[in-house]
């Protein structure tokens, strides 16, 4: 075991503080808007802290570190592209500023305003499914990170998963967005300094020529050039940029922070300043993955390589601080995701299926129960599901199930007068086909006819879904234009 | 390939400096925003809550 008494003390203090802050913030929830979007009172700096904390979980750290280990420096390009995509949204306010102006609390609510209630229901179902499936692997990766760093091995993963889940579900269910914002702020501070400590420590242990040699020996030129790397290439890079653009504008946990901002202008600024952190959010863990390749050599489990390296080189005291930082990263992500998906389930699915309007008290009660249900699902799914390809690609393909159709739907709904509900149906359904096809057919890859093999290429399936979503919106809308009687 | 490694390391250093720089500024200014968001209201002073 790598953990000493002082490490346990640091982690214990951090967990008690987080729980206390989460429960204390719940006193500010006075109505539905307070529960779901913190009364729309979040200013820019706090918005950036809570957005950045939501978008940086242990899972984020793990999948980027995994990419560094399995592809060398070439993956750094993903961080640059992610930053560019969020920067475009932050600079132009594309979609997010307009959505904030509509004063919606979830994205499918906009579908109802623009296309009708049934489109909202379909959009809500797809968003809920994609979101919960996407989140399904978070706990497992967090369990792997913590058990490896702390030195418990695989046996402790389930125990760690359960403890983390109980804490996060408790304060999210009770305090909603107020608790999420307050704990996110604390967690952002702790995770940033934990990551900084980790980076400085690793920089003192490895030198660049060693990194370069390790990457070249293992991956050749493909370890430095993403176009030459067999995992990436042009298709992947284009898909990464498009999907980051869509995720930035439409991924409910992130966008809910824009919707909680005090004004549309503040929402745009939150995205702009957060975009600046997006290259570091990816490249810092990727660098640690490259360092793990140099320190441990090839042949380690790509998922466990970085936590294993940290467990070996980080001294007691600092290890507790780093684990607290990663716990902070995880909990801030879980809380925002739990609240986002449970609010979509309550308002956009159950609310749409009911004939009468749900009162705020019932909405909050259903949201809370759904958060508990999602928590239990995460535990079960995380334990048995085997991830195809890398975690990064799994997360982006499940996310694309919703974002591919939603990008066309929301963008056309906001900026194209001719967009119709038929176009919205077509965009949402066609956008989900590629990723769903990949997730199902990938299991039968060996028995598929050759001409269908392209569907099991995660990069092609992802990019195809965005093209199909756009085609669906344009063709569906143009084909079903409302008839205008001649005068 | 050492040149390519140095080029990517330069990207890493810039990205890390920006990330941690924004983190420090946001941690500082975010505290003021947090105080504003959680400024006591009549209801919170008395512990009264309408819904939750």
Give tens-digit pLDDT for A53-67: 888 888 888 889 999
Residue with tokens 């889940």: A165
Are the C-beta atoms of residues A264 and A42 closer than 8 Å to each other? no
Interface residue A24 vs chain B (CB under 8 A): no
Quote the pLDDT of residue A389.
Answer: 62
Quote the pLDDT of residue B47.
Answer: 45
Q: How many CA atoms lie within 13 A of A345 on its CB side?
A: 22
Residue with tokens 């009660």: A365
Quote the pLDDT of residue A264.
Answer: 84
Please list, residue by residue across A244-283, b when 16 or more beta carbons sit within 10 angstroms of its beta carbon and e when fewer do: bbbbbbbbbbbbbbbbbbbebebbbbbbbbbbbbbbbbbb
**pLDDT over 50 at B50, yes or no:** no
Using alpha carbons, list the distances in angstroms from residue A477 to A13, A110, A408.
56, 17, 11
Geometric angle at alpha carbon A243, from A76 and A256, rounded to 5°:
105
Residue with tokens 């999210």: A172
Round the average pLDDT of chain A to a whole number and report it: 85
State whether A48 and B11 contact (CB < 8 Å).
no
Query: Which of B2, B22, B51 has the CB atom closest to A277's CB atom?
Result: B22
Quote the pLDDT of residue A357.
Answer: 83
Residue A42 β-bridge partners? A261
Phi and psi at residue A387, in whole multiples of 5°?
-75, 130
Quote the pLDDT of residue A12.
Answer: 86
Q: What mean pLDDT is predicted for residues B12-37?
A: 90
Q: pLDDT digit string (tens) for A411-464?
A: 999 999 999 999 999 999 999 988 888 777 777 777 878 877 777 777 788 888
**pLDDT over 80 at A117, yes or no:** yes
Interface residue B10 vs chain A (CB under 8 A): no
B42 Cα to chain A: minimum distance (Å): 11
Chain A residues closer than 8 Å to B16 by CB: 199, 280, 283-284, 287
The percentage of chain A sitting over the pLDDT mark of 70, rounded to a whole number, equals 96
Phi and psi at residue A42, in whole multiples of 5°?
-85, 125
281-310 in chain A: CB under 8 A from chain B = 281-284, 287
pTM above 0.90, yes or no: no
Q: What mean pLDDT is predicted for residues A268-284?
A: 91
Are the C-beta atoms of residues A186 and A17 closer than 8 Å to each other? yes
Quote the pLDDT of residue B49.
Answer: 45
State whether B33 and A28 contact (CB < 8 Å).
no
Quote the pLDDT of residue A181.
Answer: 80
B18 Cα to chain A: minimum distance (Å): 6
Q: pLDDT digit string (tens) for A355-377?
A: 888 888 888 889 889 989 998 88
DSSP A233: S
Interface residue B4 vs chain A (CB under 8 A): yes
Chain A residues closer than 8 Å to B2 by CB: 208-209, 212
Query: Which of B1, B27, B37 has the CB atom closest to A41's CB atom?
Result: B37
For residue B42, give the chain A residue with the closest CA.
A28
| ipTM given for this complex | 0.80
Using alpha carbons, list the distances in angstroms from residue A337 to A31, A344, A378, B12.
20, 11, 12, 28
**pLDDT over 70 at B51, yes or no:** no
Question: A114, A122, A128: which is closest to A428 by C-alpha?
Answer: A122
Question: Number of helices (H) and strands (E), helices first, in chain A?
Answer: 22, 0
Q: What mean pLDDT is predicted for residues A262-270?
A: 85
Interface residue B39 vs chain A (CB under 8 A): no
First to last CA, chain A: 83
Confidence of residue A354 (pLDDT cuts 50, 70, 90): confident
């Amino acid at each position: 075991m790598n953990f000493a008494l002082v490490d346990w003390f640091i982690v214990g203090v951090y967990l008690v503080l987080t729980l206390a802050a989460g429960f204390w913030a719940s006193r500010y929830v006075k109505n539905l808007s307070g529960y779901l979007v913190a009364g729309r009172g979040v200013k820019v700096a706090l918005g950036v802290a809570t957005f950045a904390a939501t978008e940086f979980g242990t899972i984020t750290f793990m999948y980027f570190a995994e990419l560094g280990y399995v592809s060398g420096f070439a993956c750094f390009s993903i961080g640059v592209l992610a930053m560019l995509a969020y920067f475009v949204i932050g600079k132009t306010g594309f979609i997010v500023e307009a959505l904030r102006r509509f004063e919606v609390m979830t994205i499918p609510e906009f579908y109802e305003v623009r296309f009708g209630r049934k489109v909202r229901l379909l959009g809500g179902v797809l968003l809920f499914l994609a979101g919960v499936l996407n989140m399904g692997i978070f706990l497992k990766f967090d369990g792997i990170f913590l058990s490896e760093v702390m030195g418990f091995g695989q046996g402790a993963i389930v125990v760690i998963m359960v403890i983390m889940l109980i804490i996060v579900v408790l304060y999210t269910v009770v305090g909603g967005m107020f608790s999420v914002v307050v704990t996110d702020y604390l967690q952002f501070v702790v995770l940033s300094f934990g990551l900084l400590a980790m980076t400085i420590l690793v920089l003192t242990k490895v030198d660049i020529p060693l990194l370069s040699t390790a990457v070249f020996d293992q991956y050749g030129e493909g370890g430095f050039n993403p176009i030459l790397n067999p995992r990436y290439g042009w298709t992947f890079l284009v898909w990464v940029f498009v999907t980051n653009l869509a995720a930035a504008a439409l991924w409910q946990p992130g966008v809910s922070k824009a919707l909680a901002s005090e004004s549309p202008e503040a929402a745009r600024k939150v995205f702009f300043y957060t975009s600046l952190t997006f290259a570091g959010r990816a490249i810092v863990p990727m660098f640690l993955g490259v360092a793990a390749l140099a320190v441990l050599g090839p042949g380690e489990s790509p998922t466990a390589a970085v936590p294993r390296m940290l467990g070996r080189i980080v001294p007691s005291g600092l290890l507790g601080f780093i684990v607290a930082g990663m716990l902070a990263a995880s909990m801030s992500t879980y809380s925002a995701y739990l609240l986002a998906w449970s609010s979509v389930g309550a308002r956009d699915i159950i609310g749409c299926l009911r004939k009468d309007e749900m009162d705020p008290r019932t909405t909050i009660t259903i949201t809370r129960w759904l958060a508990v249900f999602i928590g239990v699902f995460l535990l079960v799914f995380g334990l048995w599901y085997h991830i195809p390809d890398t975690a990064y690609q799994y997360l982006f393909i499940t996310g694309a199930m919703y974002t591919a159709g939603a990008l066309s739907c929301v963008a056309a709904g906001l900026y194209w007068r001719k967009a119709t509900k038929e176009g919205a149906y077509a965009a949402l359904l066609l956008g989900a086909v590629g990723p769903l096809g990949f997730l199902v057919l990938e299991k039968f890859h060996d028995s598929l006819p050759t001409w269908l093999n392209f569907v099991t290429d995660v990069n092609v399936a992802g990019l195809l879904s965005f093209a199909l979503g756009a085609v669906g919106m344009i063709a569906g809308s143009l084909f079903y234009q409302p008839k205008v009687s001649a005068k | 390939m050492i040149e390519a490694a140095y080029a990517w390391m330069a990207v890493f250093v810039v990205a890390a400096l920006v990330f941690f720089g924004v983190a420090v500024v946001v941690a500082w200014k975010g505290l003021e925003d947090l105080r504003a968001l959680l400024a006591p209201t009549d209801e919170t002073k008395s512990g009264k809550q309408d819904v939750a």
